[in-house]
Structure 1
Amino acid sequence: MQPGKLEAQLKTKAAEIGFAACGIARADAAPKTAERLRQWLAEGRHGSMIWMEERAHHRERPAGLWPEVRSVISLGMSYAPATDPLALANAGEIGRISVYAQGGDYHDVIKRRLKELARWLVGAAPGADVKVFVDTAPVMEKPLAEAAGLGWQGKHTNLVSREHGSWLFLGAIYTTLELAPDAAAPSTCGSCDACQTACPTNAFPAPYRLDARRCISYLTIEHKGPIPHEFREGIGNRIYGCDDCLAVCPWNKFAASARANLAFAPRAELTAPALADLLALDDAGFREVFAGSPIKRIGRDRMVRNCLIAAGNSGSAALLGPVRALLDDPDDAVRDAAAWAIARLPAG
């Protein structure tokens, strides 16, 4: 096969399958990743995400996870929103869900497409071995995507693409093939600090550094138990994740929602859910509402805890009844959040 022909065919096939971006990096193309990861962990900025520590040796470099890997195929699938993610910032009785979680579970969608592309690659290059990863494995998707030319890690540490802005789900295919790598993407953040200044909880101690313990996405999704009081007001009406640092990035003006994969189209009931309805959910109701959504993994108790924080920030006396009903909830964090919310709400 002519040099570069397989790589070109691979990218054409990736686009046919639904990937908006595809690039190739050598398996050893992000040498500073291990050093940055070790420093981040040593500073405790991963919070309670213990799996980051336990599998750090796998995460530091691709060969740490699979010694035979020679190339990494980095892929991105767009979920660019059609509406402003910040539009409901002042809608106190509405819960805000991060754009990525308003549609189908990206893990399922992307893994199917990755497997399809991997099967094609093995067919095109007999003898090649491959492994596919999307989010749940100890893979540093963002540095690898940067090395593969998909974009660069912005000051908020998320990937930014010239074409797709901040709205890319990332996946990776590790392969034993020696593929021609793409040029790494240069950073073009310049002096812009919009993402840092937009953060309601000051989760960025410095450019390109994130303290997960202060991040609303971490607090509402990964953090178990009561949310520290110092962050509760800053959470506002966000009940699952946070898009603020992404939404304000100037590069998003180039991210057309028409390029977004239809599998991630938002479900109507998740675009502007009423807090009163969510506060009334029991376990069965939670599973029914969030079936097929990445939200389902946090469980009913954590979601209701988040909704109580949002209710406490709402200033709405209409939410007093639903909040009071949770003062005797079996879950400690839910009871704690209910008491906090009642202390903040007007008597009505």
Structure 2
Amino acid sequence: MRKELFAPLLIHMFMMWLILNINHMMPYLMSYHGETTVVNGILMSGWNNFIRFNFSVPNIYHIIICVFVYAPAVEFTYWFVFRKYSLLLSIVASFLFAFILALVISPSWDFYNYSINGLVSVFYVACYFIIYSTARLYIYKRLLKKDIQLGKSESELSALKAQINPHFLFNTLNYLYGTAISEKAEKTSKSVEILSEMMRYTISSAKENFVELKNELKFIKNYTYLQQVRLPEMNAIEMDIETGNTENYYKIPPLLILPFIENAFKYGISVDNSYSIKILIKIIGDELKMSVKNTIRKENLEIKGNNTGIANAKRRLDLLYEGKYSLVCAQNNDIYEVNLNIKLN
């Protein structure tokens, strides 16, 4: 079980146990005089009362049911129902789980006679499921919104640091483009034009949480082209994008998948030796599937870097597509492969 699932479960179980003890101790504390008080005709101290509640057979069963059955069931409902499906479906699931728990815990309950106490218990348990999960989901969305806003602010700051004086830079690129055209340097002029377009895109997209998928894919194509023209073996780089024009209907966070492609060029290319990079992007239904394969050049492994681009991409995926994406990175001999699937809706 992942840490983010396991830690809240333990906290929830502890809080459930604590609430049960507080609820049990309240009548004792209300009637407390001196060091001991009378509970059910028996003179006992607070510690004896605590031991009696937590270790007597009927109470142990009640504690086990609440701490080790109810709490995990509520956590399961929150993580795998409330965070993935509609509120109505989640409410229905809560009542269904509460009903199943009642059957498991009290198999002798006469459902056919519609026991009022049993139905009330199911209702209370289901309401706890709903209230707890709704509150957790609300807090999660508030925190997620703050994280997205923070990430957006950091992206805007990075863009501002990088652009310095964008008008001067773009004017210079336009001058170089015009000079290359006049000198009939077609490859150079095209590269300058693409570089200018990419820079405009990075600056404009930094202001958005989501951009049109077609624009993001065009940026990826331009990036790959600029990598190709600077390398001696253009045929060693293969790129295939299959969308069937569906990219017009979807949006994606800007520069989300670029780090995985950048990584392939960073560690896979070589000026002196053979190499291979294969990039395949497909849109199937509402799912984006990307596969990136590259050879691993040993000399490139010595390149210093902390992989912040990949780490940030994974964090953005967790924040924006939790439960809606899969990422598998694997190395087989000298081949490194990344497979990323994202459900865009």
TM-score above 0.5: no
TM-score, normalization: structure 2? 0.22
Q: What TM-score comes out, normalization by structure 1 length? A: 0.22
- Structure number, greater radius of gyration: 2
Higher helix share: 2
Looking at secondary structure, tell me which structure has more strand per residue: 2
Higher relative contact order (CA 8 A, sep 6+): 1
